[in-house]
Structure 1
Amino acid sequence: MNQEFPSVSVIIATHDRPQLLAKAIEAVRAQDYAGQVQCVVVFDRNEPDATLVRTDASRPVVVVTNDRTPGLAGARNAGAAAASGELLAFCDDDDEWLPAKLRLQAGRLAETGADVAVSGIHVSYGDKTITRVPRPEDVTHAELLRRRVMEAHPSTVVVRRTAFLGKIGQVDEEIPGSYGEDYDWMLRAAAAGPIAVVPEPLVTVLWGQTSHFNRKWRTISDALQYLLHKHPAFADDPRGLARVQGQIAFAHAALGERSAARTWALRTLRNSWRERRAYLALLVSLRVLSADRVLRLAHATGRGV
């Protein structure tokens, strides 16, 4: 084990996006980190591309198939099982790392002794780029309950292998459609110990249309209800609970389920009358606004609904 430059395995789960995947792999292999960087590409529900394999010692690329639960959660766990690194990192197949990412984050882990490190992101949506950088106080368990903290994006996560397989645990494969699996994992990571932050953007995130969850409202609603049941601590934070309930209300409104949308909107407002998602859900259910228009406006600011 190289104490100064521990080996890193970067897990890229992919599904039918070969051109974006190639850019993601290239950016991982271009890291200016002095240690070994293994790239584990996990093909989920499509045939693996063996031409991506590289065998050089410092920047190998391994290609595997998701042999676990179909979807992002199973694919990430399959990648972790195939990984050899002392540190694990994750990169979505439509995101690109900046060259200094691993060097700065591995250094931050060494400085702090933390098990997990995150960084900021550049959000690319159409012809706009928005920079979002988290602060250490943004990634506490209490703050993560209150808000999703999208600037601490899953493509910025670096975690010690021992913690991922131990006290934090792997990605939950029971979450419907794997939606919000990264949020669930971050909640567990923050509950297990402090999360270190490199306070600068180290990943470019392609936002909006490339998301596999774009407009999959049924999956989103089911997954968010699952998270509320799994994390009872939401009940101790009315604002955080209202935020998730408001997202569920909006999903039902987008599905045209007006009664369910209004029921969830009322639950939301009982917990926080300031939660804007409840009002948006009501306006969509009344057909004053369209869900697509709201989503486009949110994406234009580098955010989701």
Structure 2
Amino acid sequence: MQAPKVSVVMATRDRPQLLRRAVSSVLAQDYAGQIEIVLVYDGTEVDELADLELPTGRSLHAVPNDRTPGLAGARNTGILTTTGTLVALCDDDDEWKPTKLSRQVPLFEDPEVVLAATGIEIMSSGGSHVRVPPTRVGLADLLRSRITELHPSSFVLRASALLGDLGLVDEELPASYGEDYDMLLRAVQVGRIASVPDPLTIIHWDRTSYFTEKWQGIVDGLGYILDKHPQFATSRVGRSRIEGQIAFAHGALGDRPRARNWAYRAIRNDPRQPRAYLAMMVGMGVVSGEKVVATLNSRGRGL
């Protein structure tokens, strides 16, 4: 059986050196099939990276984001440009290990699989941290937990699903925040999510994220996800988790009343929700939101 063509979409903005590192890791894949790389420049000048040497069976082209500005629109621009049977995502500051695709693509021999991921190795200021997702997840799992081990830089999806029942990235999401989580929640309802239980994707948290300190986007994005997915009513723990994150972001914004209100909501659903108590501490100025997030990231954890 011939290996299916994989199209890799990289949305990018003002990270030329990191982008080259990410592209090089894709070109170094030992995958036997064709690999097409589509670079989507979001609000910046297009660079074709014409100086890169492309191995046999590899192609690269670059396009501007011609849809909604931001990550969601850029990814959709790339997805609609691709020609592969499978579509992979990779952030412009992350990397793949050489065996990623050759280990991951066989998961699609199961016709029910619409999205495949891999384990991740997080590089942070505190060192290297390996996180491995479960090989199978269901909707109840994803409502209860974001399962951050399922990182979008490891995602491979069926192109037919993206253009069909699953749909494209939701461009209505404020600030594109949580677009990967929304994709997971939708994917598990139209098919299966599978994973390779090995850290084949390298995630860099040793640099500044475009979402760092963009607290209002977090508030709006997570609120949108709660409204969009009424299934959270069936998971008090999962709803509390998101309410705690919203409370924390309000606290970081200095909005103590809203932080307290959302923290109380979170505690009512799950009295053990730690984000709610952190939110109140941040809102009172006991500790800064940036300090909390930096400490968590250094340990390979997110909020």
Normalising by structure 2, we get a TM-score of 0.96
What is the CA–CA distance in structure 2 between the aligned matches of 1:55 and 1:103, rounded to whole Å?
Answer: 19
1:155-304 counterparts in 2 under 5 A?
A: 155-207=153-205, 209-304=207-302
What is the CA–CA distance in structure 2 between the aligned matches of 1:126 and 1:286, rounded to whole Å?
Answer: 27
The answer to whether the Cα contact below 8 Å between 2:123 and 2:205 also exists between their aligned partners in 1 is yes
Partner deviation per Cα, 1:213-265 (whole Å, 9 max, x = no partner): 01100111011101100000011100000000000000000000000100000
The aligned counterpart of 2:77 is 78
What is the CA–CA distance in structure 2 between the aligned matches of 1:209 and 1:29, rounded to whole Å?
Answer: 23
Name the aligned partner's letter for residue 276 of structure 1: P
Q: Kindly state the Cα deviation for residue 209 of structure 1 after the two structures are TM-superposed.
A: 3.5
The answer to whether the Cα contact below 8 Å between 1:54 and 1:60 also exists between their aligned partners in 2 is no
Name the aligned partner's letter for residue 36 of structure 1: Q
What is the CA–CA distance in structure 2 between the aligned matches of 1:59 and 1:108, rounded to whole Å?
Answer: 22
Name the aligned partner's letter for residue 133 of structure 1: V
The answer to whether the Cα contact below 8 Å between 2:27 and 2:54 also exists between their aligned partners in 1 is no
What is the CA–CA distance in structure 2 between the aligned matches of 1:111 and 1:173, rounded to whole Å?
Answer: 29
Paired residue secondary structure (2:272):
coil
The aligned counterpart of 1:108 is 107
What is the CA–CA distance in structure 2 between the aligned matches of 1:55 and 1:151, rounded to whole Å?
Answer: 31
Name the aligned partner's letter for residue 74 of structure 1: G
Go from structure 1 to structure 2 and tell me whether the alpha carbon gap of 1:171 and 1:222 turns closer, same or farther (over 3 Å shift).
Answer: same
Q: Which runs of 5+ in 1 are unaligned?
A: none
Name the aligned partner's letter for residue 59 of structure 2: P
Q: Kindly state the Cα deviation for residue 112 of structure 1 after the two structures are TM-superposed.
A: 6.2
Q: Kindly state the Cα deviation for residue 191 of structure 1 after the two structures are TM-superposed.
A: 1.3
Number of residue pairs aligned between Structure 1 and Structure 2: 302
Q: Kindly state the Cα deviation for residue 56 of structure 1 after the two structures are TM-superposed.
A: 6.3
Q: Kindly state the Cα deviation for residue 297 of structure 1 after the two structures are TM-superposed.
A: 1.4
RMSD: 1.4
The aligned counterpart of 1:29 is 27
- Tell me the percent identity: 49
The answer to whether the Cα contact below 8 Å between 1:123 and 1:131 also exists between their aligned partners in 2 is yes
1:10-159 counterparts in 2 under 5 A?
A: 10-52=8-50, 58-111=57-110, 113-137=112-136, 139-159=137-157
The answer to whether the Cα contact below 8 Å between 2:87 and 2:158 also exists between their aligned partners in 1 is yes
Go from structure 1 to structure 2 and tell me whether the alpha carbon gap of 1:237 and 1:127 turns closer, same or farther (over 3 Å shift).
Answer: closer
Go from structure 1 to structure 2 and tell me whether the alpha carbon gap of 1:232 and 1:113 turns closer, same or farther (over 3 Å shift).
Answer: closer
Q: Kindly state the Cα deviation for residue 120 of structure 1 after the two structures are TM-superposed.
A: 0.4
Partner deviation per Cα, 1:162-183 (whole Å, 9 max, x = no partner): 0111111100000001011011
Name the aligned partner's letter for residue 67 of structure 1: D
Name the aligned partner's letter for residue 185 of structure 2: L
Partner deviation per Cα, 1:165-216 (whole Å, 9 max, x = no partner): 1111100000001011011011100111111111101110001643110110
What is the CA–CA distance in structure 2 between the aligned matches of 1:136 and 1:28, rounded to whole Å?
Answer: 23
Higher mean C-alpha deviation, range 106-115 or range 93-102? 106-115
What is the CA–CA distance in structure 2 between the aligned matches of 1:257 and 1:114, rounded to whole Å?
Answer: 43
Q: Kindly state the Cα deviation for residue 51 of structure 1 after the two structures are TM-superposed.
A: 3.2
The answer to whether the Cα contact below 8 Å between 1:38 and 1:85 also exists between their aligned partners in 2 is yes
